[in-house]
A and B are shown apart, each in its own frame.
Chain A
Amino acid sequence: MRTSKRWLAALTTTAIVGVASAAQAEPITIEFWHGLGGDTGKALEKITDGFNESQDAYQIKPVYKGNYTETMTAAISAFRAQEQPAIVQVFEVGTATMMNAEGAIYPVHQLMDDQDVAFDEDDYIPAVASYYTTTDGEMLSMPFNSSSPVMWYNKDAFEAAGLDPNQPPETWSEVAEYSRKIMDNGYECGFSIGWQSWVAIENFSAWHNSPIGTKQNGFGGLDTELVFNNDLVTRHIADLREWQQEGIFQYGGRRGESLPMFINGKCAMWLNSSAYYGGIKSQADFEFGQAFLPHYADVEDAPQNSIIGGATLWVLRGKDNEQYQGVARFFDYLSQPEVQFTWHQDTGYVPITTAAYELAQEEGYYEENPGTDTAIKQLSLNEPTPNSKGLRFGNFVQIRDVINEELEAVWSGDKSAEDALDSAVERGNQLLRKFERQNAS
C-alpha cells in the first residue's frame, strides 16, 4: 500500500514539476553493519529509526553482523569483494588495523569537511577523542559506543557482612579484605573479572599510569613493542592467582560469561564494562552499585584515568557522493546531545560528548540513578598521559587471544605470572612485527 501511494505521489509530482524531481521520491539507502545484539541492538535501531524519520532523503539500514570480531571481518571480506557497506562499527582493538588501511577508509574529519557538515572534535570527551585521532589530532572514525570497566558490587552482600554498602573498596588490599569478610558470611567468592586483558592488563596499566607498550602505547608508530611484563602487572597477576587459590577470586570466562556469577549472588564484586548496566538492572534481585576500579595504594600515580572499550563507526570508501552526504548527516544526528543522552540511558555506554554529559547532569539523571556516571568520571579523572590515552597496536585482536591463553595458563596453575606475561609479550611482539611488515608501505 505504501509503495503504491508513494508511486502515485511520485507520478503526480512528475506530472506537475517535471521528470527531475522523480529521483527525490525514493530515499537513498545507506547500509550500516554493526555488532550489537539483544537490547543494545534494539536501542541502536531506535536511533536509526529516529534519524530516518527526521528527514526523507536518506534511509540508514542497520544490519547485525554477529559479534564485533565477526562484524569487522565481514566488512573486510566485503571490501575485498567490493560489496562493502558505507558504515561499519569496529571495536576499539581493531583501530590500528582500520587506520592503516588507508585506501579503504574515509577518515571522518575529511568526510565531514568534504560534505560541508559542521564537526568539531573538541565536542568529544578527551578520553574518547584521543583514542581515535591521529597524532596530528585528526579524527578518523566516529565515536559512538564507548564504555569503561567499573567495579560492580552487591550492596546486600556488603551489608550482610557488616560493611558500609556505600563505601566500596578503593584499593586491592581492601578488595581482598572485604572479600574475606563477605565470604565468612556465606558468599562463595569475593570477585570475578570479565574481558581479562582489557580489565586486568590494559585498564590496570592505564589506571596506574604504567605503559602497555613503547611509543606511547603504539600511537607513535608501527615499530612499537609490548612492555606489560613489568613488575607492576606481574605483581597484580600473581596477586590474582593467590586470591584465586584462596577462593576470593574466581575466573569465569573470556568475555562476559562470568556475569551469572555476579547476578546469582555467588561473587559479591565483578569487574567489567559499564555497558552491563542494562543487563544487571533487569536480572539482579539485589541492590547493586558501581564503583571505581581498585588500585594499589603504594603506586604513586594511581588512580590516573581508565581507558575506553566499545566501538566507533568507520566509513568505507567506494560509495557515491550522495551516500556520503547521508552518512555525514547521520553522524551529525548521532552527536546531538539528546540522541547521545537517550543512548547513554538505554545502554550504560558513556555519553561521548561534553554537551550530552552536561545534559544528563541537568536532567538529574545521576541523582536518580546513582553510580551511572562512574565510567565517565573514571575516564575524565585526570588529563590522559601517554600511558593512559589508549592503545593502538596492530593485530591486537590476536594479541588479546594470546593474553587470554597465557592468563588461563596462570589460572590453571600451569605457569607462574612472570612466565605467562613474558611469553604473552614475546608472542605479542611477534604479531606486532608481522603487522608492521604487512602494512609496510
Chain B
Amino acid sequence: MLKRVHFKHPVLPYLLVAPQLAVTLVFFIWPAGQALWQSMLVEDAFGLSTEFVWFENYLALLSDPQYLNSIKVTVVFTVSVTALGIGSGLFLASMADRVIRFATGYRTLLITPYAVAPAVAGVLWLFMFNPTVGILAYLMHGLGISWNPLVNGSDAMVMVIIAAAWKQISYNFVFFLAGLQSIPRSLIEAAAIDGAGPFRRFWTVIFPLLSPTTFFLMVVNLVYAFFETFATIHATTSGGPANATNIMVYKVYRDGFEGLDLGSSAAQSVVLMLIVIALTIIQFRYVEKRVEYGT
C-alpha cells in the first residue's frame, strides 16, 4: 500500500506535476487536438480554402474498400511480425543461454541488428530479395521457387514481415536472455531430477517464469509493428504491389504527405490513436492478469 502524503500548501503539488503536464500538453494533447480538428476539415493542399464537414472524412473511410483492406493488411502484418520477432528472439535466447564458450561474441552478433535503422534494414532485405539482382531470390529460383515481390502480393508481405521482424529479434533476444538468466537454476535442476526432459522443462518451468518478459515484449512489439515499421515499408514496397503491404500507418503518410489529402489523413491517424488506446487498455486489463510476476 502506498502511503498517502498530504501537502500543506495547496499549490505545491500542482507545481510539482506542472513540468510533466506541460510536456504532455505540448507533445500529446495539443497535436492530438489538432489532428481531431483537421480530421473534420476538407482543405486544399496550400490551406487556402477550408470547409468544416463534421464526420464526413470518417464516414468516407468506412466506405473505402482500400481503407478496409489496409486494416486487414495491418492485422496480418502486426500479428506476424510480433509472433516471428518474439518466437525467434526466444529461440535464440534459449540457445544462447546454454552456450558457455564465446558467449559474449555470439550475443554481440545477435544484438547488432537492433542498431540498424529501419530504412536500412528494409533496403538490405529488398536487395537480397530483389528478383533481378538479389542473392536470396537467386537461390530460390535455383530451387525452383517462383519469387517476385514486385508482382506477387504475398511474396511482398513475406518480405516486409521478415525485414521488420529481423530488426526486432535482437531487442527481444536481450530481454529474453536477461529473463532466462534470472530464473533460479535450482528450479530447473529439480525438474530435471524429477525426470522432465529439456522440452518439458522449457514449457512447464521456464516459459511460465518468462511470462512477464513475454507480456512486456508483446506490447512493445505490437506498438513497433504498428508504428515504427513505416520506414521499412517505405524503403521496400511503398505499400505495393496493389496495396498488399499498405499498412495503416503507411496509408496515413501516403494520403497526407503524398496525396495532400490532410482531412482524410488526419481522420486515419485519429482512428489509429483510438486503436492503440484500446489495445493498451485490453492488454493491461485482461492479459496482464494472467501474467505471474515473480517475487
Contact = CB atoms under 8 A, between A and B. Distances in A.
Interface in B42-72: 42-49, 51, 66
Contacts of A76: 45-46, 260
Interface stretch (B3-11, B17-25, B145-153): B145-153
A437 B42 contact: yes
A3 interface: no
Given A264-B132, A397-B259, A405 B45 contact: no
Interface in B110-160: 131-133, 150-153
Counting chain A CB atoms within 10 Å of each CB, which of B132, B238, B255, B259 scores highest? B132
A251 B150 contact: yes
A176 B150 CA distance: 23
A104 B259 contact: no
A73 B257 contact: yes
B150 A397 contact: no
Interface stretch (A20-28, A252-260, A358-366): A252-260
A266 B46 contact: no
A251 B133 CA distance: 14
Interface residues of A, number: 40
Nearest to B153: A412
A409 B259 CA distance: 21
B46 A412 contact: no
A264 B138 CA distance: 15
B15 to A, nearest CB: 33
B94 interface: no
A200 to B, nearest CB: 15
A406 B46 contact: no
Contacts of B260: 73, 76, 97, 395, 397
Given A266-B132, A412-B242, A414-B242, A440 B261 contact: no
Contacts of B259: 395, 397-398, 401
Interface string A402-414: 0011101101101
A408 B242 contact: yes
B132 A408 contact: no
A412 B152 contact: yes
Contacts of B211: none
A272 to B, nearest CB: 15
Contacts of B131: 252
Given A252-B132, A254-B238, A412 B151 contact: yes
User: Closest 9 A-B residue pairs measured CB to CB?
Assistant: A408-B241, A398-B259, A408-B242, A409-B242, A101-B46, A438-B44, A104-B46, A411-B151, A405-B242
18 contacts: A69-B257, A73-B258, A76-B260, A100-B44, A101-B44, A104-B46, A258-B132, A395-B259, A395-B261, A397-B260, A398-B255, A398-B258, A408-B240, A409-B242, A412-B151, A434-B42, A434-B261, A439-B44
